[in-house]
Chains A and B, each alone.
Chain A
Amino acid sequence: MTAVDHIRPASTRVAIARLAEEVVGRTVGVSATRGRGRWLTADGERTIDGVVVGQTAAGATDVDLHLIAEWPARPLPPLADQLRWELRADAASAGLGDHLGEIEVSVHDFKLPGEGGEEGS
């Protein structure tokens, strides 16, 4: 994964994926899964790992966040709420708030204290 490219123009889908990547990156207690060819969004020559965005028939952009949670740093439901709230706030500031649909959070691994976890190892 390389640095976020703010200069290159992107579709709404990719723009939301980039915002999601930033939100996950700055949230303590979680990290994105490695995409493994499945849980990622293509952004030109790079990939946004752990973020899957899809557009619904109604035109909304649903976001699936695939994460590794560090435990017991934070309880999961408030953590997921924080991720959703921050992503919605960022999307609203970027003028994409109306496009954002559901945000689902999927935990692929739990990184226990002193362990790398399955994904992290």
Chain B
Amino acid sequence: MSVFTLKLLSRLLGFALLLIVAVGGIAVAIFCLRGGDATLSLTNLASLLSLDELRDTVGPWLESLEADGPVAALAALCGLAAVVLGIGLLVGALVPRRERLLVIQRDEHGDITARRRAAASALAGLAERPREILGAKAKVRPNRRRAGGRARIKLVRAAGTDERPAAEESRRQLGELGKEMSLKLQSVTRKPRHGGRAL
């Protein structure tokens, strides 16, 4: 099982346990308001949850666990599985996930890599330099096995085109940066929600 799966499992289980503890805590707190046999008393809560019947049901089973036999063997197996699951969850909770880097070039001398966030931030920074771009967000997805990857740039674009030399230069640099980082660039453009501005 990969660390990613263990992390996901530990998060889901952690959330579920928190929810159970929270709901249980609220229930106990509410049923602590009164004492004796009143409606909001712990005695009433125990009878609502049928704890007496539960004890009668579980009691003999727990007694059979103490003796040798198939139930004890099954319980030992379940215990072992619980220990393995617990170790897995600990690994998921404590082992840091290795950051997936963008591999720009890989050869016998070693790798040239870049952090995804840094690469995305540089792409977005260049993309939003022309005046018609009101906002840019970039997301870099590195290839799993080989160098390079894909970059998706979401642009909020006003009507018109900034034709200043600086804007042209930024567009050229954006393409160059993508090429340099072995990235296939994909732009998604949308209009500003509230009309935006026109150049």
Whether chains A and B associate is: yes
Chain A interfacial positions (CB closer than 8 Å to B): 71-72, 75-77, 80-81, 84, 102-110, 112, 115, 117-119
Using CB atoms, name the residue of chain B closest to A84: B109
- B126 to A107, Cβ gap below 8 A? no
Within 8 A of A (CB), among B110-162: 110-115, 117-119, 121-122, 125-126
Chain B interfacial positions (CB closer than 8 Å to A): 101, 104-105, 109-115, 117-119, 121-122, 125-126, 173, 176-177, 180-181
- B125 to A112, Cβ gap below 8 A? yes
Give the interface SS of chain A, mostly helix, strand, loop or mixed: mixed
- The count of A-to-B residue pairs whose CB atoms sit within 8 angstroms is 72
B122 neighbours in A (Cβ, 8 Å): 71, 109-110, 112, 117
- A80 to B112, Cβ gap below 8 A? yes
- B125 to A76, Cβ gap below 8 A? no
Cβ contact of A105, chosen from B112, B115, B125, B173, cutoff 8 A: B112
B176 neighbours in A (Cβ, 8 Å): 72
Q: What are 30 residue pairs bridging A and B, where the CB atoms are less than 8 Å apart in the complex?
A: A72-B173, A75-B180, A76-B104, A76-B105, A76-B181, A77-B104, A77-B105, A77-B112, A81-B109, A84-B110, A102-B110, A104-B110, A104-B112, A104-B113, A105-B110, A105-B111, A105-B113, A106-B101, A106-B113, A106-B114, A107-B104, A107-B115, A107-B119, A108-B114, A109-B115, A109-B122, A110-B118, A110-B122, A117-B122, A118-B121
CA distance A104 to B109 in the complex (A): 8
With contacts A108-B118, A112-B126 taken as known, whether A103 is within 8 angstroms of B177 at the C-beta atoms is no
B111 neighbours in A (Cβ, 8 Å): 104-106
Closest beta carbon of chain A to B100's beta carbon, Å:
13
A80 neighbours in B (Cβ, 8 Å): 105, 112
CA distance A105 to B104 in the complex (A): 10
CA distance A17 to B141 in the complex (A): 32
- B117 to A103, Cβ gap below 8 A? no
